[in-house]
Structure formats: structure tokens, C-alpha cells
């Protein structure tokens, strides 16, 4: 399935049937807010890997609307945020 994320109406229509969406669409400064605001509008929880400060700050601006709708959004999720060693590393259980 292809989705034009610049078409907010289409994006909202597609995602509204999901419980949680993981957004990895970059360029974050261009698409982070567009996707997050569509997910909030659709009433869908989300996890976003956006690590662009300005884009993340604009997404945080959705907090009040998200809270009103009961939406949990987690942003700034990155590999270096993980506390566990990735499973592909040899000898990780030593």
C-alpha cells in the first residue's frame, strides 16, 4: 500500500483502523509534525523515531490535543536510547 503522507485526509483515513502506528518517515523536519498531527486527529497511539529537535518540539505542541483525545505519543525513540544490547551482538548474555 502506498500513502501520500502530504494528503492528511488520506493518511487519517488509512491509520484510523490501527491501534498503534510506528512512524519512521523522514525527513523529520518536513514530515514529523504532518504525520503526528494526522495520527492524533485519527485517534491513534504512536511511536515516532523523530530526533530532530525543532520537529520534535512541534510534535510536543500536540500534547494538549492528544491528551484530550486519550492518545499516547512517544517521540525521540532511537537505537542509542535502548538500555538492552541489540540481539545481533555476539555474546550479549555474558
Write out pLDDT tens, residues 69-80.
888 888 877 655
Write out pLDDT tens, residues 4-40.
989 999 999 999 999 999 998 888 889 989 999 999 9
Q: Is 83's pLDDT higher than 80?
A: no
- List of long-range contacts for 18-24, beta carbons under 8 Å, 24+ apart: 18/44, 19/44, 19/45, 20/44, 20/45, 20/46, 20/47, 21/45, 21/46, 21/47, 22/46, 22/47, 22/48, 22/49, 23/47, 23/48, 23/49, 23/50, 24/49
The three three-digit cell numbers of residue 14, written as one number = 488509512
Write out pLDDT tens, residues 58-68.
888 888 898 88
pTM (two decimals): 0.77
Domains of the chain, earliest start first: 8-78 (3.40.50.720)
Amino acid at each position: 500500500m502506498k500513502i501520500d503522507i502530504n494528503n492528511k485526509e488520506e493518511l487519517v483515513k488509512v491509520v484510523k483502523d490501527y491501534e498503534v502506528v510506528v512512524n519512521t518517515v523522514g525527513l523529520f523536519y518536513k514530515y514529523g509534525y504532518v504525520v503526528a498531527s494526522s495520527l492524533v486527529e485519527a485517534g491513534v497511539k504512536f511511536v515516532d523515531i523523530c530526533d530532530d529537535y525543532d520537529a520534535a518540539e512541534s510534535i510536543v505542541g500536540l500534547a494538549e490535543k492528544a491528551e484530550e483525545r486519550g492518545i499516547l505519543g512517544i517521540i525521540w525513540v532511537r537505537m542509542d536510547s535502548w538500555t538492552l544490547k541489540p540481539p545481533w551482538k555476539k555474546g550479549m548474555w555474558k
